[in-house]
Amino acid sequence: MTTELILLCIVSCCAGFIDSIVGGGGLLQTPAMLIILPHYPVATLLGTTKIPSLTGTAFAGYRYSRQVTINWKLLSAVIPAAFTGAVLGAYVITIIDNTQIKPVIFILLLLVAVYTYRNKNFGLHTARNYSYTSQVLMGTISGFVIGFYDGLVGPGTGTFLILVFIAVLGNDFIHSSAHAKYVNAATNLAAIIYFASTGHILYEYAIPMALFNLGGSYLGTKLALLKGNKFIRVFFLLIVFGTILRFAYDIFLKE
């Protein structure tokens, strides 16, 4: 293994750990790819990260489903919408610059952080506030938008999905994280299909990284299921804060 691959595998393991709990593993994985392999196109590096991300999130979803009841009926509506959005986003990233939408995401994340911090019970209990029909409608729309974001930008997708499952669909953190993994796996698969068809995946990096991401995912889900909602809430806030710093750097400091 080359030095570059060893470093990327270590980062991928850490990313899998974070992703399996509250999402946000892309905060580590994507910048690492850009720094360690700067001579490749951005679209190729993003495409390469999707394989380890898919491996980790799919495994985390399986682990959660053994302990948490999954609403497959709701997911059957959200997943196709997210899949479609991700394909469209992956296409768009190959033809435009995504920096124009980062200020909007930055502001949204600030609002999310403030709201979650001020509402101490946010995500600690299941609270179904809408009818099932409304949940399906809002979940489908949110799934498409976040899927598009995942294909276009990537980092923080799992975190946004958890937020949707809590704020819009009334789940607690554990159930939200479990459901988010399946949707995120679908968006990763959609992006992989597109990036693979256009030659934007470096398999010599993607496959080893996927194995390490899987290991991190195993440890992360085990910890999340052991510690419960309060732990995940704190971890969620930390990842949101880290995402805010990442976008602040991209917007205000990066040349």
Whole-number Å distance between alpha carbons of 52 and 59: 11
Whether residue 162 contacts residue 180, with contact meaning beta carbons closer than 8 Å, is answered with: yes
Comparing C-alpha atoms, which of 153, 187, 158 is closest to residue 43?
A: 153
CA-based end-to-end distance of the chain? 33
Number of structural domains the chain divides into: 1
Question: Would you call 196 exposed, middle or buried from its count of C-beta atoms within 10 A (0-12, 13-18, 19+)?
Answer: middle
Whole-number Å distance between alpha carbons of 190 and 22: 21
pLDDT (0 to 100) of residue 123: 46
pLDDT (0 to 100) of residue 96: 72
CA dihedral 58, 63, 140, 138 (to 10 degrees): -150
Least confident of 96-100, 120-124, 142-146, 189-193: 120-124
Whether residue 23 contacts residue 161, with contact meaning beta carbons closer than 8 Å, is answered with: yes
Q: Pick the residue with more confidence: 210 or 232?
A: 210
When mean pLDDT is compared over 30-34, 92-96, 137-141, the highest value belongs to 137-141
User: Has residue 97 got a pLDDT over 50?
Assistant: yes
Report DSSP state, residue 100: G
Stretch 224-249: mean pLDDT: 83
Report DSSP state, residue 99: G
Domain with 71 in it: 3-253
Name the helix (H) or strand (E) containing 168. none
Q: What rounded mean pLDDT belongs to the chain?
A: 85
The two tokens of residue 109 are: 């994340």
User: Has residue 6 got a pLDDT over 50?
Assistant: yes
pLDDT (0 to 100) of residue 183: 94
Residue 255: band (very low, low, confident or very high) from pLDDT cuts 50, 70, 90: low
Whole-number Å distance between alpha carbons of 168 and 164: 5
Stretch 81-106: mean pLDDT: 79
Residue identified by tokens 């393991």 is: 13
User: What tens digit of pLDDT does each residue of 99-136 get?
Assistant: 666 676 677 778 767 766 776 655 455 556 667 788 88
The two tokens of residue 20 are: 């399996």
Whole-number Å distance between alpha carbons of 217 and 27: 15
User: What tens digit of pLDDT does each residue of 16-57 get?
Assistant: 999 898 888 887 888 889 889 989 988 899 889 999 999 999
The two tokens of residue 251 are: 């917007």
Whether residue 19 contacts residue 57, with contact meaning beta carbons closer than 8 Å, is answered with: yes
When mean pLDDT is compared over 15-19, 91-95, 168-172, 227-231, the highest value belongs to 15-19
Q: What angle do CA 147, 231, 245 make, to 5 degrees?
A: 55
User: Has residue 250 got a pLDDT over 80?
Assistant: no
- What length is written for the chain? 255
